[in-house]
Each structure stands twice: as structure tokens, then as C-alpha cells.
Structure 1
Amino acid sequence: MKFLRRFWKRISNFVARRNGAGRLREEIQEHLALETEANIRAGMKPEEARRKAVLQFGSVEAVREGYSSEKGLPLVETILQDCTYAIRMLRKSPAFTVVAILTLALGIGANASIFSLIHALLLKNLPVADPKTLLRLGNSNDCCVGMGSHDSGEHSLFSTNTYEYLRKNLPEFEDLAGIQAGWTYRQVVVRREGSEDPPRSVMGEFVSGNYFNTFGVAAVAGRTLVDSDDVAGAPLAAVMSYETWKTRFHGDASIVGGTIRVNTHPVTVVGIAPRGFYGDRLWNAPPEFYFPIETMVPIANVTYVHGTEAQWLYMVGRVRPGVSRAQLQQKVNTLLQQQLATTPRYRSEEGKLKLKNQHVVLTPGGAGIQAMQEQNDRQLRLLMAASGLLLLIACANLANLLLVRGMARKAEMNVRAALGARRGRIVRQLLTESVLLAGAGGLAGLAVAYAGTSMLLAMAFPGSVNDPISADPSTAVLAFACGLSLVTGVLFGVAPAWIASKSEPADALRGARTIAGGATVLQRTLVVLQAALSLVLLVGAGLFAKSLNKLEHIDLKLDPVNRYIVHINPQSAGYVQHEVGDLYRTIEERFHALPGVEKVGISSYTPMEDNNNGWNVVVQGKPDPNLIASYVKANAEYFDSVGTRVVMGRGITAQDTANSTGIAVVNKEFVRRLFKPGENPIGQHFGGSPKTAADWEIVGVVEDTAYESATFKDHMMYFVPLMQREKSADYPIDKDENMYAGAIVLKTSRPVDDMETLARRTLASINPNLSVVKFQSFDAQIAERFSQARMLSRLTMLFGGLALLLSTLGLYGVTAYAVARRTSEIGIRMALGARRATVTAMVVRGALVQALIGLGIGLGVAMLCVRGIESQLYEIKGVDPGVLTGAVLMLIAAALLAGLIPARRAASIEPARALRAE
């Protein structure tokens, strides 16, 4: 009996659906006829009138053709039908389509632009042969010339002798290359022989003769360096980068075999490196020339190339197939200890104990030396997380838009169901629309990504030259954007499509009265999610903005107004150490002759410059504290030129010459760390060890001026005259590289717009080979040290602002939709005596409740997230109350704005009109 009852019920339902569908078809035909007639009376042609009537009623003809005959159609044809119809429906709603695409373009574009940098900086290998077989000896980026070792015993920098010993005794490597660690700090001056062009200061790297062979790189013209180039007495040779060949020499083939002057020395260009090769590490200014290690002695005039203690080389090698990395690691450590045992540092009893701990960590070398990667890793990952949150907010907006659109097309869905369309078919059609939307958003996002990546590169690496990082989207970035678009379309289109597909044929015949009911629970949940994520991004943006503000307002004990920095390299201009005294005096005289120049400071390096030279210090009569102090050589006008005040004793004077008593001026931190409270440092002596503690006499104390970084705390410094050397120096002056100054600081009475031109002209008049390595105003040099903090602050503020905008739009959309669905309810309320203010308050209250729930959730998430970014904030721990309050108030204000507009619209509803609409 139960079976018969179920069977009879199914038959009855089937007949009812057939009858309902029949009546629905009749109503549809009648409706189409009336609409067509009205359109013809409006002046349309019959065909156009019929087409418009069909579109107005939900594309019934397309429904009939696309769904009633779907059985037996090929899959491709069915998909094409879906796509064609989806495009037509999206064209019918241009406002919805544009808003959805722009929303997704912002989310996908932000993620794609950040991923572009992550891919270029962190995920790519060097453009060399088989990078997986490359190993680096070492795991840190120590730079640039070291004389000791880490307490841990790890080695990443090596002497030339150590390199040669390991290369000779490690047959497990097909080739093992030696690479200059600090080429970014030692530029060379280059001029083509016979050219009238002025010499240029460029990046040049000194490498072993097997360098190109190790990386499996061939020349595009001429040849690469070989071992025979890297021996003492060999002709000076160089390989030029492809980009330099094309941009500076216009692809002139005659340059191969031609001569260039490098630091005044004639060097033969033996070949051109391949296109896209940027060396052994990613850098924003890659080498323009590659020279053999042995040529560093004559070209750069350095003394440490064959020193037993000086560590200045990185090593990268190509491992033979089948070699065990664990066994190779052990062998490298054994050989390293054997070689170090022959050096003076490890011959003492204390040295022998330390020797047992000396080791090397082998790391993958396919990506090269990871200096830039380590500098930017945390910042890029943080930005990726922030852009991911922005994408989630954008996707929540898209889901809400699709939900609202689906509800608005309920009548269309009912018609389709009445004509025989199955639910899965309707879901697939709606899903096709969302995927097409996401695809269009992804394409628009690529344009956003290109512009965003260009902006990021300009912010992260200002003033970079021949930057190997391109803003053009790579294959990986294209795949990332396409995959993200597809996942977004499917993931955030399924739920709206499924909900919208819930339809009954009978609903098309009866009037759907919407006496009550606003937005769905899912819609409200999405709005709450948007508010929570927006609060997290706003709090993060506020914290980074406050951190940057604190950084920029640190008292650097400097005066950058009307000051200019001219970086020079007398060594590359051919000056030997005993000649630089006359050069410095000439520089002072020539620059003082320029109009407006008041002070001419000369020093080894300058404040807030990416440079530091540190030495151990011991005060005479005191135990060795094992402390390092930064060491600067300067002339008499240096302190005035940078704005550093002398607070005790005197500064450096013109009478502090090479033949006078060795004196030093120390900073206040130096006194605090090495002297007791109240102890007078003036007249005290110090040096680099207990044996040499009488080298320098302290004659003055200056303020704690910021050097290298504004956050460099407890920074001990001492300053000595340009031409003075340690009393204990037991080597000739022409082997003392500390005699070379690296910068001129000019203080002027007023801004001088053409100071760079004047500086270049003045130096060229002294010596045509004395070029400007880099020119900056003091303000620009200081601002450069905040570039990463500024980038993080600006981008997180941008993401926070976009998140707030999207959240406001989402809340507005849901509130407006709820008001539209409750039109009749509101009309009845007002007909029964409800005041406009009451209706307004009711709608605004609903919007605020959703925002406040999101704020509560976002507050807890923000508390957790701040722990992960504290290390990148300056003097900020936890969530700052002011920042949190500001973020909360901004979200509440946005919620009020988003709710007030629909509320005013609801309050203006006429009761009679609302009831007639039903």
C-alpha cells in the first residue's frame, strides 16, 4: 500500500508539473505578445520588439532552446551555449558586471603584483645551466672583507688561499668558483679607449677564471673568462654584460677585442655575457663588467687578495652526479680546518681550541647568493598576507553580489525549472557566469598587477640601474593569476548559484509576497567577515604608519638642510696612498671656491649611508671589553658639514696632520661603554688591542650621530684625522687602504639646484678620472634608509583603505537589498503609524549590528596577527590603543554611512505605493 501511495503521489506531482508548465507556457506567450505589441507601438521594428520582449522576461527562448533539448548535445556545444548566454546576461547588467570585475581586479591584481616580486626575488633560480646541481659553501651573507670568524665557527667568507686549497682538494665539484663578496661597495671607473665620453663609475665584479664555466654560461660574442686569465702577469681581461653592451655601446661588435680603461688601466674586453645573465646574485644594480681575481691587485690596488687572514670571497660549485652531500659536507669541514691550521690566527693554544669548531654549511646555490632575498623576505611575505586578506574581502563582495543577483533572477529560475531545466543545469549556468566574471577580473587584475609591480619596484629599489627584476608578468605570474581567478569564480560562485537555483515551477504562477525577510544569513555572514578582515588590515596599516612616523622623527643628531653628498673613489682614479693628502687639500680649495659653499667635509663614509667599518677597541690601562666601534676618517670641517656637535673637548682641526700626535674624537656612547660615570675621557688613549692601546689620544666627544641605520642602538664610534695612521702601524702607507676617502659633504648657504653638475665639473678639473660614484642631497640619503619602512607603510595603508571601501560597499549592498525585500513590510509599518525616524533607526541599527559583530571578531584576530609583525615595527609592542581606536571608529563611520543611505530610502517609502507593488 505504501508503494502504491508513493507511486500515485509521484504521478500526481508529474501531472501537476506538466499542467503547471502548460499554463506557464500560455502565460509566457501571452506576456511576450503584449510586450512585443508595446514595443512596436514605441517605434521598434517587429524583430527588435520581439527580441527585447524576450530579454525583458528572462530569455525564455534561450531557456527553451538551451535546456529542453540539452539531452544529446555534445559537451563542447553545451558549454558554448552556457558561455554565450552568460555573456549576454552579463551585458544586460553592466553596472553589476563592472562592479564585480573591478572588485576582483583589485584583489587579484594586488596578489599578482606581490607574487611577481616574491617569484622574482624568492622563488627563481639564476639563469644558468642546471641550477639544481649548484652548491654554495656557506649560509650567510657576511660582507665584505673580514679578518676573524663568528663565535659559532661558521664560515661563509673565505681567503684566496682557502679557496685555492679547497678547489684543489675537492674533486667532488666539477668546478668551484671564487666570487668577490663586496663588489657592490667597490665600484670601478670605466672609459672606452679613444672615446671623448667622460669616465663612468660602474659595478664591476672580480671572479675566478672558471666563474662562467661553473655556471655553464657561454658568451654571445667573443669568449668568457678562463683560468689562464686568472694568473699573475696575464693580460688584463674583462667580460662585459649584455645589457651594458646594448645600452652603452649600442651592440657594437668591435668592442670585443677592444680596450677600455678601468681605473686608468688598459683592459681588453674578451667577450659579452649572455642576455639575461646578471651574475651570481640578484641585485638592483648588477655588474657591468667581470674581471679575473688576479687583476684586482693592479686594477683596484688592494692588498688583501693574497693575504692569509683577509676573508673576502664567496664560493659556489657544481657538484658531480652521485656525490653524497653529507659526505661532502664532512670533507669540506676537514679540509677547511687543515687549511686554517696553517694561518697565524689558529697557531696559538687558544686558536687551536677554536679551530675544532670551524666549519662550513653547504646550501643550495641555484638561486645564487641570497643577500637581497634575505633583506626582503619578511616584508614580501607580510605584504602577501595583507593582499590575501584583501582578496578575501573582494571575494566576499563578489559572493554577495552573486547572491543578490541570484535572488533578483528568481523569476527567471522558476521559468527555467517550469520548462524542464534540472537544478544541476541551472547551477552550471550560474557557475559559468561567475567563472566568466572571475576570468574578466583576472585579466583586469593583470593590468593592475603590472602597474602595481612597477610601483613596488620604484618604492623598494629607488634609483636602481639595469634592474634584473621585471614588472612584466612572467609565466608563473600568469599561471598564478589565472589559477586564482578560476578558484575564485568556482569557490565563491558555488554557494550563490546553489541558493539561486532553488526554484519551483509553481512559484512562477503565484505572486511571491515578500511581507518580511531581508538579507540571508549567508549574506550577513559575508559582511561580518569583511568587517573583521578590514579591521585587521586597518590596524596593521595604522601600526606601520605609526612605526614609520617614529622612525622619521628620531633625532639623528644631524642637520641635512642645504647639504649634499658626493661619493668618490680616489683609488679607482689611480691615486696611491701617499698622494691622497695633496688631493684632499685640492678638493677643499676647489669646492670652497664654488658660490654658496660654506663647509667641505671629507670622510671615509657618511651618516645614514649603507656602509660601516668596525674595529675592536681597548682603552689603555683597562681590560679588553671585546667591543667593536665604528671607525671614520674625516677632515677638520667634517663635523660642521654633517651637523654633528662637539659636546666636550675639541674636534678635528687642520693642525692634526700626518706628522702630529694621533688623536681621536669619540661619541657619547663610546664614553658610556668604556668609561665609568664621571670619568673624564679627554687625554685617555685607546687602540685595537692591549698592545696597541696607545694608538689614539681622545681629544673630544661628539653627539651620538646616527650612522648606517636610525635604529642602530648603542653605536660606539670614533673619528680620526684623514691623514693620520695608528701609532702601531708596522706596514707602509701605500698598503693602507684606510687612507682613501669615500665621500665629500658640502654645506651650502642656500639650495644649489645644479650642485651635481658643479661637483662633476670640479672633480674633472682636478683629475679627468676622478668621477662621481654617486651624488645625493643629504635629505635623499637619509630618506633612502627608510625606503622599506615607507613601502610597508604605504602599501598596508593602501590595502587597508581598499578593504574599508569594499567592506562599506558590501554592507551598503546587503542593507539596500534587505530594504528592497522588506518594502511591503516597511510600507505596512508606516501605514500603521511608524515614524520615519523609527524606520531609519531600524535599518541603521541592522547595519551597525553586523559591523560590530565583525569588529569583535576582527579585534581578536588583530591581537594575534600583531605578534607576527612586531619584529618589523619600531618601538611598538602589541596593539596600540590609539591605532585600534582609530580603526574601530573608521569602520563604525563606514557602517553608519553604508546604512544611512538605504535607511533614508526606506523612510521615504509611501505606504500605498508599497502595497500596490504587491
Structure 2
Amino acid sequence: MLKEWLTRLRFLISPKPHREIDDELQFHIERQVQEYVATGMPQHEARRKAVVAFGGIESARAQTHEQRPSIFLGTLLQDVSYALRQLRKSRGFTVTAVLTLALGIGANAAIFTLVNAILLKNLPVVDPANLIRIGDNSECCVDSGIQDPGDYALFSTDTWQQLQKNAPEFEELAAMQSGLGTVIARRDKTQEAARSVASEFVSGNYFRTFGLQPRIGRLFTDADNVIGAPLVAVMSYNTWQNNYAGDPSVVGSIFWINTKAVIITGIAPKGFFGDRLSSSPPDFYLPIETVPVLTNRTFVHEPEQRWLYIIGRVKPGVAIAPLRAKINELVRQSFAATTTFSSELGKPYLAKVSVTLSPGGAGIQEMQDDYASKLKLLMWISGLVLLIACANIANLLLVRGMNRHEEMSIRTALGAMRTRIVRQLLTESLVLSMISGMAGLIVAYAGTRMLLAMAFPGAQGVPIDARPSGMVLAFAFGVSLLTGILFGVVPAWITSNADPADALRSGSRATTSGASLLQRSLIVLQSALALVLLVGAGMFIQSLNKLRNIDLKLNATNRYIVHFNPQAAGYSPAQVEALYRTIEDRFHAIPGIRKVGISSYTPMEANNMGRGVQIQGQPDLQDGASWLRTSSEYFDSVGTHILMGRVFTARDTSTSPSVAVVNQSFVNRFFKLGENPIGRHFGSPGPQTSGDFEIIGVVEDTAYNSATWKDHHMYFLPLTQRDPKSARKGPIDGDTSLYAEAIVLQTDRPMDNVQSLARQTLAAINPNLSVVKFQTFDEQIADRFTEDRMITRLMTLFSIVALLLATLGLYGVTAYTVTRRTSEIGIRMALGASRGSVVGMIMRGAMLQTAIGLAAIGIPVAWFCVRYIESQLYESKGISLAVLTIATLTLTAAATAAGLIPARRAASTNPSQALRTE
């Protein structure tokens, strides 16, 4: 007896860490049991007596820690160490849990990386909170006329200058080009070839408004943005590094931009990508007043032409509401001086003119507007995947806790308080979550790179870093911590509820209880959420298939599109007619090329030009229509068929009568059914302009700009024939509408070297004629479905992951149930139960959980959720019964497979082995 108490005392005062104490304690208990058994004592009595002998140690230790809070950190480190040892011992469980959670956390972190970069991140400028934008949408690019409703975000140069003079509430008020463009640039006195680069025209106080300092050299001043000032430019940091290896001599050197000598004054600061997030940020920044010199465009000082965004830095203490009222009044005054709003037609709309002052810290939110709804949807989807993963982890923890039941019983018998056991188990859950979070960051990095490739195919300069930022790291850590707490507490609490009497049993017996209600509930939840994701994926797949099957009335076979910029190459409008003939002749001379079409823009690129239309003799019927200039072979080159009359020929030149070809939607809108439009005249609304063009042909409705743009009224003009309205305004050198931007080549066979042939051909005509962009026609069409394709692929990927996790969860719970019911199954089979009846019994339990998840939760929730994604689906209203049926059958098949494996194992149980106990 004295020996036992001395042993207990030695443990109480031992300075050894608890890891060693726990190991020695277990050793001494087993040793004492063996000593008692050696004397003839039954084993269960020997174990009871040994536990009683050492029973106060765990309780005393727990009390000591309650009384000594100063060693909390040491206890925590011990718990973490113990948790790591336990996880190392159960490697199968650990690997499964870490991979499951890493997938859920990584998917969320990847989506959050894009959300943070696109929706939440401010520009890398000084004090972004004080920046205010005049306007709140991303209209583009050059606009005129009346807008209804009257909320404006684009402004003329005159309006910006008037706001600068009359709004002293702003410290600075900067203007910038609304549509980012391209210029042709090459460095002077080098062998560098001319190349097309992204550019942006900005005001002289642009960089000063953002509070930026140059990397080297200097940025713009107001003196740089005046008529007649020397031509200067600022180069972006990335262009300086990537193309010129950070060479300081770039500053002060001459670059030929659109054939004009321009001096580089400085390099923009590192990390600054412009005033908006773009997949092609500017390589060069140029002053606004250089637009007429470098691009020959005259709209810079035309009050009717709105083409600028405006962002300003407000002075401290300025109230926004009164400022907005003042800005609205100043904008109305500026608009009132224009011909558009001073006319009888425009005066009623002047009172409706308004602007919204919006936060400018994130810049011009073009990409935000495009991707906001899709990113928010992806956050919800990835959240559901994480929830399914967490349900799986909770089930794993519950199963693991049941397997440690005897251990918990012994600890309880030794005096451990329940809170102490819960804390230890919760520590294990948190450690597991943190490890999963770190693994999730790897998944997030790879996932972000995949998302960027899917969202911006082929883009090289997207200013979004796939590496996790501090915000993303904090997000991943927070998700990991929350996951560990929420889905670790309940399993820990249930596991800790161990009966000390179980420690007195020499062995464990299988029970007939099977899985707990909580475990089955988690399976029901997983099945329901998996069905929701499967239905969502099915709806997006169905929508994408509908989009792909739209008859675009285009022929993309062996068609190639070459974008070029004759204006940037130094050609005046008077010179382009000869240039276009040369281009046609040179390309026709290449073997294999059948058709050479030249146009203002091509069918499925994001471009559109429009104006009002009136048929001569029909003053009451006016509407808008899109238009473009084309060469005679253009319609054949894109596969557009003629329905009536003729298309352009070599006779339709700059000196011949003005003619036009219209599409079928144009005819349906402006002419009565059966009325012949050939020979009729139309033009811009007004008695003097409505007869400018004679209709010579009608072509079928081919898709332009968007595959879903219905009733798209269009007309086509000869490539070199001036618009009579423009001709009446002034000489040809001011008519920039004559510039074409695309060449469509049709070949007689697939050709891999068309791009290099196009570069060589244009360079041979003029070294400044460079290829701005090259695409196959198929690639251009596919680009119009990039966002739909991305969301569909991600929905499908997430739904497959959810299905896999739900299947694994059901398999795990069913297999655990079979293990727990081994004795019962053995008895049933000993009493004559057949293998089929055992399989049926197990399968009924497994399928019941799936059926409840589908019928009670999954189908109603899926039916409800589809309403919120209808706006992103093409021609889909409500849930598709076909999609719902396929999703249900898929989940049912997966559940059947998950239940059948353990059911067959149960049917193979040997009754004699199942009935043995220790």
C-alpha cells in the first residue's frame, strides 16, 4: 500500500512533461494489472484495482493547471505536441482530412484572391479614400447625343475643363481616356521593330491627382498637356522592366509613336497599372492634347463628343451631397451649350441630365462591373463545397472519437475533467485545420492561376498576382480557424462523454447502434448540397450548349483575322484608298489565300458603331442601327450570304454615288412586310440627310458583337466611300471613319503560318504597319463565350468535387455502421439470414439518408436557388426537369456505389468470427 502511495506522490511532484507522464502512467497501470493477474486475480478485477490505485493523478494534474494559469502557454504547446503525435499515428485519417479540407479552403481562397483583387482592392495610390469619381458606370468609348435615362459618366474635354475651373472643392480633377487604345511604337536608333502597344491619353495632372512619384525621371505636368507642347510620354514600370531590362537610359530617349518622335520623360511607379483593372494595362501614358497629333482624331475639342472619365481628389471637410448638386448644375450648363441639348428635340432632356459621385479609390470599375456577379456566385459555390468538406471532417472526427472511446474512458476514470478532454480534442481539430489551411494555400495558388487563365485567355499583363496576399492569408487563416472550431466542438464534446466504467472492461464489444443521428444528418446535408451544385452545373452546361448552338450565320472555316492600324502607321484618310488596294493585291498574291476582306471591325469582337436612321419619306419612323465599312470581298470572307440585290464591287469608289447594304433585321424594322427595299434611300434623321444612301442589297442577319443580340439592325458602307454628311462638314483629312482596323483572310486550306505571312506582308508595305492582334475566326468567336465557359467549367468542377466528397462521406458512415453492427450481422446470418437480405438491409439505410437529402432538402433548395442564377443563363426560366432528373440519378448512382461496397463486405461476414469477443 505504501509503495502505491509513494508512486502516486512521485507522479504528482514529477517535473517531467505530461507527454512522458502519460506514457509512464499507462506503463505502470498495465504493469500493476499484470502483477494482480499473476496472483490469480481475474483480469477485470485487476484492471479496476490498478485504475483505483492511480486514480487521483489525472484529477490532481488538472486541478494544478486550474490553479496555475501562468503555465497556460506550456499546456497549449503540450496539447499541440500531443495532437501532432496523434495525427502522425493516424496517417490515413490525417491525409484524408487534410486533403478534404485543403480542397475546400483552397477553392475559397482562390476565389477570394480574385474577389480581393477585382472587387475589394483599391488603386496603389496615395489616400484612395479621398478620390471621387464623377459618374458610376463604365460606358465606352466615344459617345454623343442624348442618353435616356440621363445618368452620364462620359464627358467632353470642354466639360472637364469647366469643372476644373468652377469646382474648387477638388484639390485636383484629372481626366483620362475612356477606351484604352493602342499605338505603334519603336525606340529610336535601335534595331527594334515597330510593335503595337497599349496606351492611354490622360490629363497633365493625372499622376499628381493620384499622389504618385516617378520611379525615375519625371511624370506629367500641366505644361505637357497644352496645344503645341513637345510630344512626351510616360512609360509603365512593367514595360520598362520586361522590354528594356530597367535601362535608365530609356528616360530622355526618343520613341517613334505612330511615326511621331516622342520623348520619354519618366517611368511610372512600380505596381501602378493605371486608373482601372484591365487585362491589357497601358504601356505608355500620353497627354490628352497629343490625340490630334498622334491619332489624327478631332473629337478632343468637339463639345458634342463625350470620351473622358473624370476622377478628382476632394479637399478635407467637403460634404459630398452639396458637391453632387453643384456638379450636376455645372454639367447641365456645359451640356446646354451643345447643339444636341440646345435644339428643340434636346431641350426637354436637359433637365434629366445628372451625374453620380462614386468612390474613386478603386478607379474606373470596368472589370468590376463585368465580373462582380460571377465572382459572388463563385464565392457561394465554393462556400458550399467547403461546407460539404467540413461535414465530411465532422463525420471523420466522430468516427475517430468512437474509436478512441476506451482511451477517453480511461482518462475520465483517472480523474480528467470533461473540459480538459474537450480542450485536447478541440486542439487536435484546430491543428488539423491549420495544416489543411497551409495545404489549402498551395491549392489556392494553383487554383488562382487556373482561374486567371480561364478568365483572361492569352492575356499577358493582367495585374492580378496569383500568390496569396496578406488579405488572402488572413482569409485562409480565418476560414481554417472557424472550420476547426465549428466542426470540432461537437465531435469533441460527444467523444468526451465517455463512461468511466468502460475502462474496467478488458475489451470492447461491437454494438448494434450503428451511426449516430448527427452522423446521418451530416450525410443528409452533404447529399442535399451536392444535388444543388449538380443542378447548378447542369443549368450552366445547358445554357452554354444553347449559346454554342446559336446559328451565327458565319463561316469560320479557314478564316483568319488580322487587326492593324493604318492611322498609327502614319496614313492620312486621303491615302487609305490606295493602301487598301495594295493590301488586297499583296495578300491575293500569297498562294492559298482566296478572299481578302477589309473592314472597320469584325463580327464577334467587342466593337460596335451606331447612329440614328431614318428612311427617306418616312419622317415618323426613326431608330438606331449599327454600321461598318467593308470591302467588296468582306461578306464572302466572313461567310455572310446575300439575300437580295448585290454587294459592293470595284465600281463603288470614293467618287461614285453613296450606296449601302442592309441586313434582314434592318428591312424588317424600317419596311413593311413584302416591301422591296432595293433602290430606297435612308440616312441620319433629318430632311437633308435621310436620303444620303441608296440600298443596293440585303444580306442575312449575321451575329455581331454578341451571339445573343437579337433584332440587330445593321447597314454596311463601301470601305473608301465617304459619308455624305461627313463630306458636307469638311475635307477628307478630317474623316477618320475611313480608317479600317481588320483584314479577314479566307484560305483554301488550313494554314499554320498565316500570322507570320501577315506580319511579313504588312511590313513589306510599310515597316510601321504592324499586326495589332491576330486570331483565327474560331478563336474570336470562342472569346465571346469566355465568361460563360469559365463559370460553367468551375461549376462543373465544384459539383464533381462535391459529389465525390458526399460519396466518400456516405461510404465512410456506412462502413462504420457495418463495423459497429458486426455482432448483429453475425447473429442474423447465424440464424439463417441470406447474403442478399444483409446487403438489402445495409443499402436501405444508406439510400434512405440520400433520399431524405434529395427529397426533403436538395430538390426544394435547388428549385429555389435557380431563380438567382437565371440572369446568367441563356434562355432558361426556372429549373430544367431534365437537368434535375440527371442530377438526381447521378447522385443516386454515386450513393448506390458508396453503399454497395460496405454492404457486400457485411454480407461476407463469418458468423463465428463476428460472435467472438475478448
Which stretch of the first structure deviates more once superposed, 151-160 or 538-547?
A: 151-160
Q: What is the distance in 2 between the residues matched to 1:168 and 1:728?
A: 35
Tell me, yes or no, if the aligned pair for 2:56 and 2:414 is still in contact at 8 Å: no
In structure 1, the partner of 2:21 is: none
1:760 and 2:768 aligned: no
How far does the alpha carbon of each residue in 1:618-666 deviate from its partner, in whole angstroms, 9 at most, with x for none? 1111134342111010000000100111111111112111111211111
Tell me the amino acid that sits aligned with residue 452 of structure 2: L
How far does the alpha carbon of each residue in 1:500-524 deviate from its partner, in whole angstroms, 9 at most, with x for none? 0001221111355444211000000
In structure 2, the partner of 1:6 is: none
* 1:319-468 equivalent positions in 2, closer than 5 A: 319-468=314-463
1:182 and 2:184 aligned: no
Q: CA deviation at 1:34?
A: 13
Tell me, yes or no, if the aligned pair for 1:62 and 1:85 is still in contact at 8 Å: no
Flag the 1:866–1:61 CA change in 2: closer, same or farther, 3 A: farther
In structure 2, the partner of 1:825 is: 824
Q: 1:719 aligns with which of 701, 716, 720?
A: 716
1:628 and 2:624 aligned: yes
Q: CA deviation at 1:703?
A: 1.1
Q: CA deviation at 1:346?
A: 2.2
Q: What is the distance in 1 between the residues matched to 2:155 and 2:226?
A: 19
SS of alignment partner, residue 177 of structure 1: strand
* 1:562-573 equivalent positions in 2, closer than 5 A: 562-573=558-569
Flag the 1:798–1:520 CA change in 2: closer, same or farther, 3 A: same
Q: 2:73 aligns with which of 56, 72, 76?
A: 76
Q: What is the distance in 2 between the residues matched to 1:129 and 1:540?
A: 42
Q: What is the distance in 2 between the residues matched to 1:656 and 1:917?
A: 100
Q: What is the distance in 2 between the residues matched to 1:65 and 1:904?
A: 49
Q: CA deviation at 1:352?
A: 2.8
1:526 and 2:519 aligned: no
SS of alignment partner, residue 472 of structure 1: coil
Q: What is the distance in 2 between the residues matched to 1:387 and 1:373?
A: 20
Flag the 1:66–1:772 CA change in 2: closer, same or farther, 3 A: farther
In structure 1, the partner of 2:466 is: 471
Tell me the amino acid that sits aligned with residue 157 of structure 2: T
In structure 2, the partner of 1:673 is: 669
Q: What is the distance in 2 between the residues matched to 1:628 and 1:255?
A: 48
Q: What is the distance in 2 between the residues matched to 1:888 and 1:417?
A: 46
Q: What is the distance in 2 between the residues matched to 1:463 and 1:34?
A: 77
SS of alignment partner, residue 267 of structure 1: strand
In structure 1, the partner of 2:889 is: 889
1:283 and 2:278 aligned: yes
Which stretch of the first structure deviates more once superposed, 330-339 or 398-407?
A: 330-339
Flag the 1:66–1:659 CA change in 2: closer, same or farther, 3 A: farther
Flag the 1:820–1:33 CA change in 2: closer, same or farther, 3 A: farther
SS of alignment partner, residue 186 of structure 2: strand
Flag the 1:63–1:240 CA change in 2: closer, same or farther, 3 A: farther
- Calculate the TM-score normalised by the size of structure 2: 0.93
How far does the alpha carbon of each residue in 1:410-459 deviate from its partner, in whole angstroms, 9 at most, with x for none? 00000111111110000000001110111011111100000000000000
Q: What is the distance in 1 between the residues matched to 2:155 and 2:56?
A: 79
Q: What is the distance in 2 between the residues matched to 1:632 and 1:209?
A: 34
* 1:78-93 equivalent positions in 2, closer than 5 A: 78-93=75-90
How far does the alpha carbon of each residue in 1:87-126 deviate from its partner, in whole angstroms, 9 at most, with x for none? 1110111000000000001100000000000000000000
Flag the 1:25–1:600 CA change in 2: closer, same or farther, 3 A: closer
Tell me the amino acid that sits aligned with residue 571 of structure 1: Q
SS of alignment partner, residue 412 of structure 2: helix
Q: CA deviation at 1:348?
A: 2.7
Tell me the amino acid that sits aligned with residue 900 of structure 1: L
In structure 1, the partner of 2:535 is: 539
Q: What is the distance in 2 between the residues matched to 1:311 and 1:917?
A: 88
Q: CA deviation at 1:532?
A: 0.2
SS of alignment partner, residue 299 of structure 2: coil
How far does the alpha carbon of each residue in 1:332-366 deviate from its partner, in whole angstroms, 9 at most, with x for none? 11111222222222223443322222121111100
* 1:202-221 equivalent positions in 2, closer than 5 A: 202-221=197-216
Q: What is the distance in 1 between the residues matched to 2:750 and 2:26?
A: 83
Tell me, yes or no, if the aligned pair for 2:554 and 2:640 is still in contact at 8 Å: yes
SS of alignment partner, residue 346 of structure 2: helix
Q: What is the distance in 2 between the residues matched to 1:31 and 1:860?
A: 59
In structure 1, the partner of 2:904 is: 904
Q: CA deviation at 1:405?
A: 0.1
How far does the alpha carbon of each residue in 1:558-596 deviate from its partner, in whole angstroms, 9 at most, with x for none? 111111000011000000000000000000000011111
In structure 2, the partner of 1:879 is: 879
Tell me the amino acid that sits aligned with residue 843 of structure 2: V
Tell me the amino acid that sits aligned with residue 264 of structure 1: T
Q: CA deviation at 1:810?
A: 0.2
Tell me, yes or no, if the aligned pair for 1:24 and 1:418 is still in contact at 8 Å: no
Q: 1:28 aligns with which of 14, 27, 30?
A: 30
In structure 2, the partner of 1:107 is: 104
Which stretch of the first structure deviates more once superposed, 458-467 or 64-73?
A: 64-73
Tell me the amino acid that sits aligned with residue 714 of structure 2: M
RMSD: 1.9
Q: CA deviation at 1:220?
A: 1.0
* 1:170-249 equivalent positions in 2, closer than 5 A: 170-183=167-180, 186-249=181-244
SS of alignment partner, residue 774 of structure 2: strand
In structure 1, the partner of 2:128 is: 131
SS of alignment partner, residue 817 of structure 2: helix
Tell me, yes or no, if the aligned pair for 2:58 and 2:415 is still in contact at 8 Å: no
Q: What is the distance in 2 between the residues matched to 1:132 and 1:608?
A: 39
In structure 2, the partner of 1:42 is: none
Flag the 1:893–1:430 CA change in 2: closer, same or farther, 3 A: same
Q: What is the distance in 2 between the residues matched to 1:66 and 1:295?
A: 81
Q: What is the distance in 1 between the residues matched to 2:58 and 2:576?
A: 89
Tell me, yes or no, if the aligned pair for 2:622 and 2:685 is still in contact at 8 Å: no
* 1:591-610 equivalent positions in 2, closer than 5 A: 591-610=587-606
SS of alignment partner, residue 553 of structure 2: coil
Tell me the amino acid that sits aligned with residue 684 of structure 1: R
Q: What is the distance in 1 between the residues matched to 2:783 and 2:731?
A: 38
1:146 and 2:162 aligned: no
Tell me, yes or no, if the aligned pair for 1:68 and 1:420 is still in contact at 8 Å: no
SS of alignment partner, residue 347 of structure 2: helix
Q: What is the distance in 2 between the residues matched to 1:805 and 1:24?
A: 41
Flag the 1:33–1:169 CA change in 2: closer, same or farther, 3 A: farther
Q: What is the distance in 1 between the residues matched to 2:146 and 2:461?
A: 34
Percent sequence identity over aligned pairs: 59
Q: CA deviation at 1:33?
A: 8.9
Q: What is the distance in 1 between the residues matched to 2:719 and 2:696?
A: 16
SS of alignment partner, residue 353 of structure 2: coil
In structure 2, the partner of 1:251 is: 246
Q: CA deviation at 1:395?
A: 0.2
In structure 2, the partner of 1:653 is: 649
Q: What is the distance in 2 between the residues matched to 1:624 and 1:77?
A: 87
Tell me, yes or no, if the aligned pair for 2:510 and 2:819 is still in contact at 8 Å: no
Tell me, yes or no, if the aligned pair for 2:146 and 2:346 is still in contact at 8 Å: no
Q: What is the distance in 2 between the residues matched to 1:685 and 1:633?
A: 18
**Which 5+ residue runs of structure 2 have no aligned equivalent?**
1-24, 38-54
Q: CA deviation at 1:917?
A: 3.2
How far does the alpha carbon of each residue in 1:657-710 deviate from its partner, in whole angstroms, 9 at most, with x for none? 111121111111111111111111111111011321111111111111111111
* 1:40-59 equivalent positions in 2, closer than 5 A: none
In structure 2, the partner of 1:590 is: 586
Q: What is the distance in 1 between the residues matched to 2:568 and 2:786?
A: 29
In structure 1, the partner of 2:10 is: none
Q: What is the distance in 2 between the residues matched to 1:499 and 1:339?
A: 72
- Calculate the TM-score normalised by the size of structure 1: 0.93
Which stretch of the first structure deviates more once superposed, 187-196 or 393-402?
A: 187-196
